[in-house]
Amino acid sequence: MTIELKSAVKTIRGITHIKPTSLVLETGHFNVLLGQTGSGKTSLIKLMAGLDPLASGEVWMDGRDVSKLSTQKRNISLVHQFFVNYPQMTVFDNIASPLRVAGMAKSEIQGRVEEAADILQLRPMLNRRPQELSGGQQQRCALARAIAKESRAVFLDEPLANLDYKLREELREQLPELFAGRGAVVVYATSEPEEALLLGGRTALMDDGVVTQFGPTAEIYRKPESLTAARVFSDPPINAARMSKTGTTATLDTGASWTVSGPTADLPDGAYTLAIRPHHVTPVPAGTDYVKLSGEVLVTELSGSESSAHFELGSEGWVSLAHGVHPYEVGEAHDFYMDASQAFYFSEDGRLVA
Amino acid sequence: MKTENQKAWFFVLPVLLLVAFNALVPIMTVVNYSVQETFGNNVFFWQGLDWFEQILRSDRFQAALGRQFLFTFLILIIEIPLGIIIALSMPKKGMWVPVCLVLMALPMLIPWNVVGAMWNIFTLPKIGLLGYFMNDVLGVNYDMTQDPLAAWITIIVMDVWHWTSLVVLLSYAGLVSIPDAYYQAAKIDGASPWKVFRYIQLPKMKTVLTIAILLRFMDSFNIYTEPFVLTGGGPGNSTTLLSIDLVKIALGQFDLGPAAAMSLIYFAITLLVSWLFYTLMTKDDAK
């Protein structure tokens, strides 16, 4: 089972929502679409689902061109951020509705609905109406409909966004298991880098209506091909600063300098952009090669066992994320240490060079 | 700790006064007239429930009540589905939305007696545009001043013209509040347009439709001005609805007692039917 986009483009009233995008999504793992709000995740899903027409390009499913096929004929499921269920129908009828439209035999419908209800722990609620359920149960009902349908592709468009924290964690843990071995291509859209990492599989980074990078999730996390990709796949946002390199010496615009080695040292001299994840910038140096930076602390946050500090480095806002509780004084200058060996280097046009 | 004083009464006093002047005092006046006979000079004689009995037994009242129910039934059976159909076919976004909304609201902005006068002039044979067109161009014998059927068709069409917009606007408000996600879900399931209407649009419009049906029931059941100006209850008594008959008894014949009794019966029927409608339509939600 595969979904393949061949330079698919979507325009609505002259505005391009999806720029030419080519992508091959496969079954057996989660395909995560990661991007900020408005980056085109939902637009891309609607294109694949056939809810919106293609301006140009093609969509293929299982080696067949489905670009002209209606949504119904593509045999897909879609679970929304809102809990979409038919209000007048019971949970049972809701799960059964696509099967009934497909003209399936009554006994088979019964079996499929009960199986899906068991998986999602909806058995006791089968005779209730959606509005009598909690938010988590309503979303389970929508998921059960997708599972019972046994469609070729399941699109999950930020399905956990409207659930509270605990339910979200619970359901997120169950999700990969729910769809494992069902043979459907699972596409999961989210704006949270953490969800992409947790759900694993493959990730497509989206920015401004285009997929900037696609591959195994961990690999993309370790090697973002571009500065925008690095920015999308980091929470808190990745730190960036302009830098120049002469010989083996790297110097930030703010004056901090250090000696580079390895592949970074082989780069031609010139101007670059350095980017480093917040947890590689700490208030205490963990090694002798850490680069000392200093800046005014703007905001501090304590979350669980980690403390973060937003500080000003030159004209850029930087974030440090460290274990333990650290005493920061807001408004005071503070020293931070950067593990330069973990930094990404991007060329002037935003491509990863080292 | 419990504080015992009577201060709370002062907080309900304003609304109590308002309701008293608004409803209680006028109703009690009517109740007062309905159980007494008066010959003027503020001399009253106790009559008990005689007037009520007389009204309920009279053929005239029963005929007017029958006409009233027929009128309201026709109004609801035409205006509610028609309003929903118009609302469904109106654009959901774009530059035509405000145009459609204003066009829809226009008939409702016209004062009721003006509507009656307009339709009177419009439909008069020889003089009126419609009257002339029907009789002299199409050759159909149409005269609402002579023919009861023509008079009925005219008052029904007039009311549909005047008030369907209310149903349209309420239904439309219900329709535009349905998120796109529901239509997408229906598209994915491959649901037919009828199923989309039955399982998505109708349930989502239910609340506003309940209000629309109640308002249209009460307004059409209590209608007076428009048919009075248009037909004056004629020809004969064929379009004498309850309120028109009531005014004839109260102000035409100056039979205050029977008129008061009739008002109360009229009020009770309106209240009862409204309550029935409301209970039936909201029954599912309470479950």
Asked if A218 and A250 sit in the same domain, the reply is no
DSSP alpha helices (H): ranges in A132-214? 135-149, 165-179, 193-199
Neighboring chain B residues of A70 at a CB cutoff of 8 Å: 190
Instruction: Please answer yes or no on whether B203 and A98 come within 8 Å at the CB atom.
Output: no
Say whether A344 sits in a helix, a strand or coil: strand
Q: Do A171 and A277 share a domain, yes or no? A: no
Interchain contact B185–A (C-beta under 8 A): yes
Alpha-carbon gap: A84 to the closest alpha carbon of chain B (Å) = 6
B177 in contact with A, Cβ within 8 Å? no
Q: Give me chain B's average pLDDT, please.
A: 86
Q: Is the pLDDT of residue B287 over 50?
A: no
Is residue A255 domain-shared with residue A227, that is, in the same domain? no
Long-range contacts of A305-310 (CB under 8 A, 24+ apart): A308/A236, A308/A278, A309/A283, A309/A334, A309/A336
* Tokens coding A4: 């393949």
Which candidate in A42, A86, A131 is best for mutational testing of the B interface (most B CBs within 10 A)? A86
* Yes or no, beta carbons of A87 and B190 under 8 Å apart: no
Locus of tokens 């917009």: B165
Mean pLDDT of B246-262: 83
Nearest by CB to B199, from A70, A82, A89: name it: A89
pLDDT of residue A210: 87
Residues A162 and A81 sit within 8 Å (Cβ to Cβ):
yes
Domain membership flag for residue B32? no
What ipTM was estimated for this complex?
0.72
- The answer to whether B111 faces chain A, any CB pair under 8 Å, is no
* Dihedral pair phi/psi, residue A238, rounded to 5°: -70, 145
Number of domains chain A is built from: 2
CA B160, CA A100: separation in Å to the nearest integer?
39
- Do the beta carbons of residue A19 and residue A7 sit within 8 Å? no
pLDDT in tens, A74-117: 888 899 888 888 888 899 999 998 888 888 888 889 988 988 88
The reply to whether B35 falls in a domain is no
Q: Which conformational region is residue A211 in: left (phi greater than 0), alpha (psi within -120 to 50 degrees), or beta?
A: beta
Q: State the pairing for strand pair A185-190/A153-157.
A: parallel
Q: Which chain A residues contact residue B281 at CB under 8 A?
A: none
- Of the candidates A193, A209, A232, which is a domain's last residue? A232
Structural domain harbouring B253: 55-286
**Domain annotation covers residue B177:** yes
Interchain pair A98, B199: CB under 8 A = no
* pLDDT of the residue at B229: 86
- Residue whose structure tokens are 């031609």: A268
- Give Cα A18 to chain centroid, integer Å: 17
Q: Which one of A88, A93, A94 would you mutate to disrupt binding with B, by most B Cβ within 10 Å of its Cβ?
A: A88
Task: Please identify, among A213, A232, A251, the residue that sits at the C-terminal boundary of a domain.
Answer: A232
Query: Is A298 a domain residue?
Result: yes
B60 inside domain: yes
**Percent of all residues in chain B with a pLDDT value above 90, rounded to a whole number:** 27
Per-residue pLDDT averaged across B50-74, rounded?
88
pLDDT in tens, B7-46: 888 888 999 899 888 888 888 888 888 888 877 777 778 8
CATH of the domain at A122: 3.40.50.300
Q: CA-CA distances (angstroms) from residue A286 to A249, A279, A319, A328, A335?
A: 21, 12, 17, 18, 13
In this model, does residue B286 exceed pLDDT 50? no
Burial A307-322 (b: 16+ CB within 10 A, else e): bbbbbebeeeebbbbb
Domain range for residue A47? 2-232
Q: Do A6 and A44 share a structural domain?
A: yes
Asked if B136 has any chain A CB less than 8 Å from its own CB, the reply is no
SS3 A224: coil
Per-residue pLDDT at B61 exceeds 80: yes
Contact between B52 and B261 (Cβ < 8 Å): yes
Task: Return the CATH number at B272.
Answer: 1.10.3720.10
Residues of chain A with pLDDT under 70: none
Whether residues A257 and A178 fall in one domain:
no
What pLDDT shows up at residue B72? 94
C-beta of residue A117 within 8 angstroms of C-beta of residue A144 = yes
* Ramachandran category for residue A255: left, alpha or beta (phi over 0 → left; psi -120 to 50 → alpha): left
Model confidence pLDDT, tens digit, residues B152-209: 998 999 999 999 999 999 999 999 988 888 888 888 888 888 988 988 899 888 889 9
Report CA-CA distances (Å) from B163 to B192, B215, B281. Answer: 31, 10, 21
Nearest to B182 among A46, A84, A98 (CB): A84
Residues of B in contact with A72 (CB under 8 A): 187-190
Residue B73: CB atoms within 10 A of its CB come to 12
A353 within a domain of the structure (yes/no) = no
Mark whether A13 and A82 lie in a shared domain.
yes
Number of domains observed in the structure of chain B = 1
Residue B199 is nearest to which of A46, A80, A86, comparing CB atoms?
Answer: A86
Residue A354 covered by a domain: no
CATH number at residue A283: 2.40.50.140
Place of tokens 């009794």: B261
Residue A88 and residue B203: Cβ atoms within 8 Å? yes
Most distant pair of Cα atoms in chain B: their distance? 84
